[in-house]
Structure 1
């Protein structure tokens, strides 16, 4: 009996397509970017709350003679401050990877190569600026050039902005993701520059407050990137009634006021970052009460929006539930720290919770609109 020949079944390629791999990598690093931006608020708070703001007395070096802290001279404060500087590098590397992944996926190899050329130009320009400013300072008789690195960082930041504008203009798909990714990278570089200015100005409380507020905004941008990454592209329509959208945006204004007065309150309190740093000069006790007023109003508005969203079955109801819980915990921590005399641990938790509350509010606002159905 002749053998029956059974044709071999073709091999099935179970490997995911390359675009899916790029998408998974982008999702992973987008989450890492959000987490690192949140963590650096905690490490920055630790610098301030432990009195380590001038643990590294110079910038970008830790001391005029050393890049890293000398434990015998600076002790634990130098290690804490330098650790926060290292965290800035981690945040920057992750933000850069997100930009490269976004460009590779939505702009192709050509868009990625162009961005790399901008990067090379920015680095070369920054190096030339550094040596030029140093040379001018030496010719003028100065032994040091404290402005060399800030000017070099500024040149690098300008190159990033130019690359961002070019990428957004030349990318046809998902310009929203490209824009948000570049904003985070430029923001990290700008934050490094502001951090250096903070040290060089001896921890000026207004600059320190701006430094924190900018970090909080970057947390919100990374949260927005995560939301948009999982949202279908194309035109969008309002998913809630007009009155609900208006009240939501008014809530955002109250949230901003609460954070602003919180920054001013901390800037007038005992946690200056160093024992010899002068504060704002405002009455911290009065500011603490002023800070609490919009905080209570914020809690009431968020609670109202949450109840209304669940009754009407509106799109952002689940995230509003998260937000109301975060605000209530934030209020509880705020009252607790005030009664306990502002212990550093509670103040640090309060700072991180403020950033997470702002990020959650950002998600709520983005849920006010939804993609238009394909048939429309």
Structure 2
């Protein structure tokens, strides 16, 4: 039995699928956490780590709010299990890709930290600043999971991007992070607090929404400029596609943002906007990695001397 398990963990495809599952699960738990807040179930389990002072699970008296909040807590264990499988596979295959195991360890540590931060958020009665930190910690976890997944993929040799393009990739990523931070400020100032008793930041929602929107326009402009620059430089198709994907996701997210703003923030649209934030962030990371140099070879990559570029192979003995 153990031999079969070890054999499975030695397979690159198992590692890749576990890494992708971890990324998807991290995005999914952001959405379920959003559902907790948007349905007013943030204190459905009013304490932590227990759900009540007497029980670790929700009770009938707590109604649907308790079920929603406890369900989100339960998903943390699913997320952890997936991460354990991915980390075990990374350990078995650690010699294939330098740095892969370290990325897995950081991802697991982030899940533990996020769980504790979630408990602190509950114990502080959904203080908006801890709620904001909880969401941003999830963005960090998504970044760790994305890097881990990216390192397991079979990818072509990297295009050596000019220094200006690499700098632009960093700037786009930084502005994307600013957009996320301002988005949490908007959330912490708006009506969906997670519970009727939860405090708000005290900022004017109109003002912070305008700041958030301005940052989004800057991000879209920078992404468009980067896409045009990559095309002008004759960058590989996979690189220009990464920029085009980010631009498309940003525009779609902008449409959702306008819809939620002008329709009075209905919770299904807000939840879709949260999913869009995760997708913008992952697309941003995809573009950053597409233009950033990396020395290590991905798991399952072809032997040295055989190059793969844009779908074509070239066996070289040079």
Q: What range is the shorter-chain TM-score in?
A: 0.7 to 0.9
1:54 equivalent in alignment to 2:33: no
CA–CA distance in structure 2, aligned partners of residues 370 and 354 of structure 1: 26
CA–CA distance in structure 2, aligned partners of residues 262 and 277 of structure 1: 18
Q: Is the 8 A contact 1:232 1:371 kept in 2?
A: no
Within a 5 Å distance, the mapping from 1:286-297 to structure 2 comes to 286-297=207-218
1:276 partner SS: coil
CA–CA distance in structure 2, aligned partners of residues 84 and 100 of structure 1: 25
1:283 equivalent in alignment to 2:204: yes
Aligned with 1:31 (options 14, 20, 26): 20
1:263 equivalent in alignment to 2:263: no
Deviation digits for residues 296-343 of structure 1, max 9, x if unmatched? 110111112122223333142111111111000111111111111111
The residue number in structure 1 matching 2:240 is 317
| CA displacement at 1:225 relative to structure 2 | 1.6
TM-score, normalized by length of structure 2? Answer: 0.86
**Which sections of structure 2, spanning at least 5 residues, go unmatched?**
1-5, 296-303, 306-316
Worse overlay, 199-208 or 364-373? 364-373
CA–CA distance in structure 1, aligned partners of residues 7 and 63 of structure 2: 49
The residue number in structure 1 matching 2:76 is 88
Deviation digits for residues 99-144 of structure 1, max 9, x if unmatched? 11111222xxxxxxxxxxxxxxxxxxxxxxxxxxxxxxxxxxxxxx
CA–CA distance in structure 1, aligned partners of residues 8 and 89 of structure 2: 11
CA–CA distance in structure 2, aligned partners of residues 18 and 371 of structure 1: 29
The residue number in structure 1 matching 2:149 is 226
1:70 equivalent in alignment to 2:87: no
User: RMSD of the TM alignment (CA)?
Assistant: 2.2
Within a 5 Å distance, the mapping from 1:1-376 to structure 2 comes to 18=7, 22-71=11-60, 73-106=61-94, 174-230=97-153, 239-315=160-236, 316-370=239-293
Deviation digits for residues 321-370 of structure 1, max 9, x if unmatched? 11111000111111111111111111111112111111111111111145
Q: Is the 8 A contact 2:9 2:92 kept in 1?
A: no
| CA displacement at 1:231 relative to structure 2 | 5.0
CA–CA distance in structure 2, aligned partners of residues 185 and 338 of structure 1: 36
**Distance change in 2, residues 1:44/1:19 (3 Å):** closer
**Distance change in 2, residues 1:232/1:322 (3 Å):** closer
**Distance change in 2, residues 1:317/1:237 (3 Å):** closer
CA–CA distance in structure 2, aligned partners of residues 226 and 290 of structure 1: 33
How many residue pairs were aligned? 292
Q: Is the 8 A contact 1:337 1:343 kept in 2?
A: yes
CA–CA distance in structure 2, aligned partners of residues 201 and 321 of structure 1: 41
Q: Is the 8 A contact 2:172 2:284 kept in 1?
A: no
Structure number with larger C-alpha Rg? 1
**Which sections of structure 1, spanning at least 5 residues, go unmatched?**
1-16, 107-171
1:273 partner SS: coil
TM-score, normalized by length of structure 1? Answer: 0.73
| CA displacement at 1:20 relative to structure 2 | 8.8
CA–CA distance in structure 2, aligned partners of residues 90 and 299 of structure 1: 35
